[in-house]
Amino acid sequence: MITPMRAPWITAAALVLTACGSPVSHSEASVNSWRTLGVSARFITSDNLDLWPCFSPDGARVLFSRRAEDGWELLLVSINGGAPQKLATSPLPVAATRANWSRQGLIAFTGTSSGGASGIWVINPDGSSPRDLQLSGLSNQVFYPSWFPDGEQLAAMDAQDLVIKRIDLRKGTVVTLTDNKQVFTGMPSVSPDGKSIVFAGQKNTGQHYDQSNNQVWLVDEAGISHVLEPVPAQGRAPTWSPSGRQIAFESTRGSSSGLYAIFLINRDGTGLTQVTDRALNADHPVWSPDGRHLAFSARNSTWTRERGIALVDIPGN
């Protein structure tokens, strides 16, 4: 989670209506230059701490995590806004974060116990039958489930070893996909064809893992990992577009104050584009099923810790 940062007072209205991009520093522009989209962000939740959105398979609703008194709970809201509704039909025994909705309808999320153990849980789309995946080969620090297109397998980050693991729900097996001697891994996202995984990562040079220093990486079916951009720069929380042609991610590049913006990039590492303004400090972008919209968490006021779920339209998609 990105901790919201304090900055000079800006009205919530200005944040909603402004997403035209920040100036690029000369030093960064000379390495990785990019263009900026002039799009507006529209908040569909506010006045709370809302993070980690994902779209329903029909694109009509957004599922997200809201901070509650005793942890995090999953809520649903229409893409047109309105009053969010709780997903679970009864209180969950874990804090529920980082949800991912399969094409077939099943929802996976990270469940964290009061003792700090985190694992992958699945729940039906009507909020019934929550259950945790207690499988050999997973530690008690597993985060960010991402569905393969068959709806029977998941990729997830195992933070104990800083690797990406593939979980087969039908077979009950776990396979490690990345080598932590080469790269430390963060959040993964499985491509629409299931043949590659984009993830936040950093080359292992003997340093302590610092997720703020991650870059965007790819690992293919053969288990070969490489940095996506020809000249690597900071990037986190990548997700595939439904077409498999683009990747959205968050980055502080070009920001002197460490604020995040949402970027797009082609799968071959070209076409870098900034989508949101720095004032939003936006994170964890996800695509709508038709590829026409991005949802993300953003601050709707610069002087509180509150964050809402916002949407932007992607021109040409």
For range 247-269, the mean pLDDT: 96
Q: Which tens digit of pLDDT belongs to each residue from 4-52?
A: 332 222 223 333 333 333 333 333 444 568 888 878 999 999 999 999 9
Tell me how far apart the terminal alpha carbons of the chain are, to the nearest angstrom. Answer: 28
Going across the sheet that includes 142-147, the strands are 142-147, 153-158, 163-168, 173-176
- CA–CA separation, 251 vs 258, rounded Å? 9
- CA–CA separation, 309 vs 296, rounded Å? 6
CB 121, CB 131: distance < 8 Å: yes
Count the alpha carbons within 13 Å of 294 in the hemisphere toward its beta carbon.
Answer: 32
- CA–CA separation, 229 vs 220, rounded Å? 16
Quote the pTM value. Answer: 0.89
For range 142-164, the mean pLDDT: 98
Q: Which tens digit of pLDDT belongs to each residue from 100-112?
A: 999 999 999 999 9
The domains located in the chain, with CATH, are 12-313 (2.120.10.30)
pLDDT tier at 240, thresholds 50, 70, 90: very high
- CA–CA separation, 236 vs 214, rounded Å? 6
* Tokens representing residue 204 in the block: 């292992």
